[in-house]
Amino acid sequence: MVLADTLSRAYLQHTPRDCERIEVFQVKHNLAKECEQIDMLQDVQVSQVRLADIRNATKTDTAMQQLKQTILQGWPDNKHTLPGSIAEFFNVRDELVIQDDIILRGNRVVVPRSYRPDMLQRIHTSHIGVNGCLRRARESLYWPGITAEVKNHVSRCHICRTYETRQTKEKLQTHEIPDRPWAKVGVDLFTFQGREYLLTMDYYSNYWETDRLLTTTSEEVVKKLKTHYARYGIPDILISDNGPQFSSSYFRIFMRKWDITHKTSSPGYPQSNGKVENNIKTAKNLMKKAYRANADPWLAILDFRNTPTQGMTTSPVQRLMSRRTRTLLTTATSLLKPKVTQEFEALRQSKERQKKYYDRTARDLPELKEHQTVRI
């Protein structure tokens, strides 16, 4: 009500503290009115057996006894004058009542500390998830910090962890930006229209090559890589997943002879080799659209290599070869002539921007400890 009316301002001459002791009392103008009795326990969604257990636990709990005395005697104005065991109830003091030796907050039973572990087990009996457990608990039970304790209890449940839909997304850890083109190269295989291809990508320039593979053996992959290394030079680092083509003894011998450091990522976590995966998606889209339009896919790839990258002034082929390559689109002669370009700062800002947006919905997971259970 915005404004109080006359009747709401009319106060009683006698305001009894304990309605259980007074059945009838006199109000203004000698009008007799009965004191209404409300049985709060009728609306509580807790069984009589559980209420009896909570009542017994309340009687033996020191903090609950102090809380009962404070409710009956009245709350102080300052929270800091309360004992530490009941100070956490100060913010809900106006909602707390006592009936049949049980403390209630509205229609929710205040559970003593000694009985809370048992109630947590009962709340989570059906393993219905964090939100479901919270909805169940908030209907009939209360204690300070109940939300945090329910979440913690569910997070430590082995059954719930075993059948989780997916792992929580961690914050992005970006690859280190190389200081020159073709210093760090990533490779991966992909399938398009029933045919196998190898994609080789430069981490500095984002320039990539695709090769048709007649077989998916290590010998065939090494043969294609040698042609690129002869054309662009031998890289310092090669990044691949742990596929059979890259984990064979033949491939290890090739890496050792050509003095290349081979780093692998997990096949079950392609995100760690995400730059290659994104370029595979781009290559597939270009080839798919070209075949659908009855166009030459190699011209589409050529145009992509000469298109300036978003947020930069140079294209992938410029960052690799220091010049544009001629396409069917008219190109300025100055762009076709070699000119050294430096885009290290632009690459760094692009990675920071990517990490910033990715980390909005991610968080760091706790480090694994020795002998800890890990589900895969």
Model confidence pLDDT, tens digit, residues 170-213: 776 777 778 889 999 999 999 999 999 999 999 989 999 999 99
Distance, in Å, from the CA atom of 56 to the CA atom of 61, rounded to the nearest integer, reads 9
Predicted pLDDT at 269 = 61
Query: Could you tell me the pLDDT band of residue 11, with boundaries at 50, 70 and 90?
Result: low
Contacts of 54 (CB under 8 A, 6+ apart): 46, 102, 109, 111, 112, 115
Label the pairing between strands 96-99 and 102-105: antiparallel
* Cβ contact 262:350 at 8 Å: no
What's the CA angle centered on 285, arms 178 and 298, to 5 degrees?
A: 80
Contacts for 43-49 with beta carbons within 8 Å, 24 or more apart? 43/107, 44/104, 44/107, 44/108, 44/109, 44/140, 45/107, 45/139, 45/140, 46/109, 46/140, 46/141
According to CATH, the topology of domain 184-360 is Nucleotidyltransferase; domain 5 (3.30.420)
Predicted pLDDT at 273 = 72
pLDDT at 101 over 70: yes
Q: Quick check: helix, strand or coil at residue 96?
A: strand
* Cβ contact 104:44 at 8 Å: yes
Predicted pLDDT at 241 = 87
For the residues 209-219, what does the mean pLDDT come to?
95
Ranges for all domains in the chain classified under CATH 3.30.420.10: 184-360
pLDDT in tens, 102-130: 898 888 889 999 999 999 998 898 888 88
Q: Report residue 36 as tokens.
A: 């209404």
For the residues 317-326, what does the mean pLDDT come to?
90
Put residue 214 in one of left, alpha, beta given phi > 0 → left and psi -120 to 50 → alpha: alpha
Ranges for all domains in the chain classified under CATH 1.10.340.70: 42-162
Predicted pLDDT at 260 = 96
Predicted pLDDT at 24 = 37
pLDDT at 313 over 90: no
Of 150-154, 274-278, 309-313, 341-345, where does the model show the most confidence? 150-154
The single-letter DSSP state of residue 270 is G
Sign for the CA dihedral angle at 199, 201, 206, 209 comes to: negative
Name the least confident of 43-52, 66-75, 367-376: 43-52
Distance, in Å, from the CA atom of 173 to the CA atom of 264, rounded to the nearest integer, reads 15
- Indicate whether this model's pTM tops 0.85: no
Predicted pLDDT at 297 = 93
* Cβ contact 195:212 at 8 Å: yes
Distance, in Å, from the CA atom of 82 to the CA atom of 277, rounded to the nearest integer, reads 60
Give the helix, strand, coil percentages of the chain, each rounded to 5. 45, 15, 40
Q: Which CATH class is domain 42-162?
A: mainly alpha
pLDDT at 150 over 70: yes
Q: What's the length of the chain?
A: 376
Phi, psi of 221 (to 5 degrees): -65, -45
Q: Report residue 136 as tokens.
A: 């169940």
Mean pLDDT over all residues of the chain? 84
Nearest in space to 202 (alpha carbons), one of 285, 300, 311, 317: 317
